[in-house]
Structure formats: C-alpha cells, structure tokens
Amino acid sequence: MSPSRKDLSHDRIVEAASKAIRRAGYRGVGVADIMKEAGLTHGGFYAHFDSRDALIVEAMARAGQDNIASLTQVIERRLSRGGSRFQALVETYLHEAHMARTEDGCIIAALSSEMTRQEEVVRDEARRRVDAMVAMVHAALPEGADADEAAVVTATMVGALQLARTLGGKAGRSLLAHTRQTLTERYTHITPH
Amino acid sequence: MSPSRKDLSHDRIVEAASKAIRRAGYRGVGVADIMKEAGLTHGGFYAHFDSRDALIVEAMARAGQDNIASLTQVIERRLSRGGSRFQALVETYLHEAHMARTEDGCIIAALSSEMTRQEEVVRDEARRRVDAMVAMVHAALPEGADADEAAVVTATMVGALQLARTLGGKAGRSLLAHTRQTLTERYTHITPH
DNA sequence: TGTACATCAGTGAACGCGCGTTCACTGATGTAC
DNA sequence: TGTACATCAGTGAACGCGCGTTCACTGATGTAC
C-alpha cells in the first residue's frame, strides 16, 4: 500500500524534528517551527501526535537509525580503500565534518547531557539509542572484543565529539585527531582473546 | 574587608544557580526559582546581574571550581590509603555517587551537549571549564603524559559518566566499572617516555 | 458519468501559562552635623 | 547622643513574549448510488 498524504506529512514532520532536536536541543525548537519546516501550520500537529514528547520519541528513533545507517554506508565505502572496519568507524565519527554539523550527526553526542532530564518515555528511547550505538560500535570492533569494551569505546567517541564541539576550532580538531589516534592504536594488531 | 550584605546575597544566588543548572540544565530553572532558593524574591535579581546569562557564566565558573576543589580533596584523602593519583581520580569521578548526583558533580558532564548552543559569553566560559578539567586530569596523570593525552582521558570520563546516567541502574554502573578498569589499566605500570 | 454526502487533512485564531525583564516603592542601614 | 536625610538591598506587581495545546472551521478527496 502506498503511503497516504497524511503518512507523507507525518514523515516530513518527524524528519524535520529529528534535525531540529540535534541542532537546537530538546527544547530548542517549538512545535510551530517544526511544522513550518515540514511545510505545514502548527494547528494540524495534534492530528499526528498526542503530545510534543510523542514526536520527540519518534524523532530520536529516526535520528538514531538514520545516523547509524549513514555511518554504516560511509564505512563500507571507506573499507574498499583498505583499513579495518573499526578504523573506518573512528575516522568517520571523529571527523571534522561531524564536529561541524550536529544536525545530521549522532543524536547521543547532540543530546546526552539532557537525556536524564526528560520525561520517562523520552528517557526510554534514549536508552534504546545508546544500546543501538554500542551495538554498532561492537560490530565494528575486532572479533573478541566484548560489549562492555564497546560501551567504553562509545563513551570515548561521544565524549570526544562533544568536547571538541565545545572547544571548537584548532583545539577541537586536535582533540578529535588524538582520540582517533588513541582508539585506532588500541584496536590495531590486537590478538583476539 | 568583610563581605557586605549584598555580597553575601550575591554569593547565595551564584551558589543556588550552580546547583540548579547542573541539576536541570541551562534552561531548566528560572530566575525566580533561583532567587527563591537563595532566600530572595525575583525582583532584586537585576541589581546583582546584567542578565540571566551573566549569572549563568558566574555559576559555571563556581560549579567548575567547586567541583575540581572537592575532587582534589577526595583524591588527597584516598591517596593516604595507597594507589596512584590517577587511580584515585578515576575512582572518584567514575563513582556511582557521582552518577547519582548531578547537582554537585562535574559541570561538563552535566551540560556538555548544551554548551555549543549557548550565547558567546557562556560558550567562552564553557571552554575555560573544559580547559580547567583537562589541566586537572593532566596533573593526575603519571609524569610524561602530555596535555593531548589528558584531553582524550577527560573525554572518556565525561562520556562514560553521561552514558552511565542515561542508561541508569545496573547497565550504568557496569559502564562506570569497565571505564574505571580500562583507564587504570592503561595508566598503571607505565614507563614515562 | 454524474450528483450528494461523508470523511479526511490541514488552517488559523485563541487560551493559558511560564519566564525574563522592568519599575515604582519600602524598610533597613549608614552618614552628616 | 540624637535627629534628618541619603543610600542601599530587596519587594512585588506588571509587561511582553513565546510556546504547547485546543477548537471551530474549510477545502479537497473519496464513496454510495
């Protein structure tokens, strides 16, 4: 069945919101602005969602899935040029381009310090996003690495991206570079245990 | 010169704000609530600060300094029970107690993903906070470690604390434990280069 | 194929609330003589 | 030591604005016959 007109609108709203929250934070953009970005007026919002938070939950899921999908795609492309899967991930995630653009980047780096302050439904989705990212990192690590290790690596990447964004400029780029180096060194020529 | 009545009020406002922003985020608590916590009414606010952001800047500085001071103090106490300075830092920063209480914890872990979205004055102070924390971590690392390494370690600690808070409960505690282990292992029995 | 009606998706005005900021005023403290 | 006045710190009402949410209404699309 092809998507109805309403489905298409719904989709555009979620898409706009997924970018808006990454750019401006959970409370940075209002319902009216999101609707406008989706080419609609704010009055129709509640025909699509029970509340603003209900949209936020969908937007987080969308942002996380899209980001993981696009990371995976870039990794595949890099792999054809040689190097390990993990190296490709680290170089893509900790790239200057990711530092500059929050809007279509990692939702966790964009929102993590605000996550604990959200309503329970939103926090639930936040946990799912973290789990999904840890799983993605785990899949990129050399065989033998366990999920706990993947979680620590995830924390390192997320923390570095955030601090780099805060520092900005040269200092930010330098932190990204050193984190890339530290992580790739640690997971290159490793003997699976 | 002993502090005037106004100085004392000013101090209480900054103190209340430093806890409020760590607990609730940059926009989580209003001027009126902060004044109330300081035992005052909101009308007097602008006799103390030019704007809400001016208070935020002072509150961040206070929060960062207080947190570093109290970390340093706890580290000294732990040191007397043996172990390295770095190990003491890691165990204190990545402790469950720090995961549970944001209010008097690390300001960077509490706010990092919101920092890039603030006005320039606030971002400036944010950079200073990051620099101060990296310096503190640097001072705790074994001799020979450079500032870049300290920045990567800082990113790991901040990222881990944030993800642990988001995950909460058992998963959160487990991430803290594994991060502690990873970091202490890496910086124990190391030969200074 | 055409007409009448129901449903659907979206519009735009309005409501209520919270928040940063301003301001006229008050009561307490300090100062001049 | 006491009186008059100025200054200081804080009060509380009010303003303007933005935002989430509601709702009566409209125009387009789909359906029954």
Contact (CB<8Å) A123/B25: no
Rounded distance between C-alpha atoms, residue B28 and residue B37, angstroms: 14
pLDDT at A157: 98
Q: Which of A66, A74, A90 is nearest to A150 (CA)?
A: A90
Q: In angstroms, what CA-CA distances link B101 with A54, B43, B71, B114, B188?
A: 28, 30, 14, 19, 28
**Cβ contacts of B29 within 8 Å, gap of 6 or more:** B17, B20, B21, B23
3-state class of B189 per DSSP? coil
How far, CA to CA in Å, does B191 sit from each of B79, B182, B186, B188?
21, 17, 11, 9
Tell me what pLDDT residue A3 has.
Answer: 80
Burial string for A90-110 (b: 16+ CB within 10 Å, else e) reads bbbbbbeebbeebebbbbbbb
Tens-digit pLDDT profile for residues B148-191 = 999 999 999 999 999 999 999 999 999 999 999 999 999 986 54
| Closest listed residue to residue A25, CA positions, set A162, A156, A179 | A162
Contacts of A23 (CB under 8 A, 6+ apart): A29, A102, A103, A110
- The band of A192, judged by pLDDT with boundaries at 50, 70 and 90, is very low
Class of domain B53-186: mainly alpha
pLDDT recorded at residue B189: 62
Give the nearest nucleotide to B48, CA to C1': D9
Q: Are B117 and A24 a contacting pair at CB < 8 A?
A: yes
Give whole-number Cα distances, A70 to A60, A63, A67, A101, B92, in Å: 15, 11, 5, 14, 37
Answer yes or no: are the C-beta atoms of A186 and A173 closer than 8 Å. no
Task: Tell me the CA–C1' distance in angstroms for B27 and D32.
Answer: 56
pLDDT tens for each residue of A157-182: 999 999 999 999 999 999 999 999 99
Instruction: Give chain D positions with protein CB within 7 A.
Output: 8-14, 18-24
Contact B35/A at CB under 8 A: no
Spacing of C-alpha A101 from chain mean position: 11
Rounded to the nearest integer, the mean pLDDT of chain B is 95
Residue of B nearest to A160 (CA): B155
- Give the largest Cα separation in chain B, rounded: 59
Q: Are B10 and B48 in contact (CB under 8 A)?
A: yes
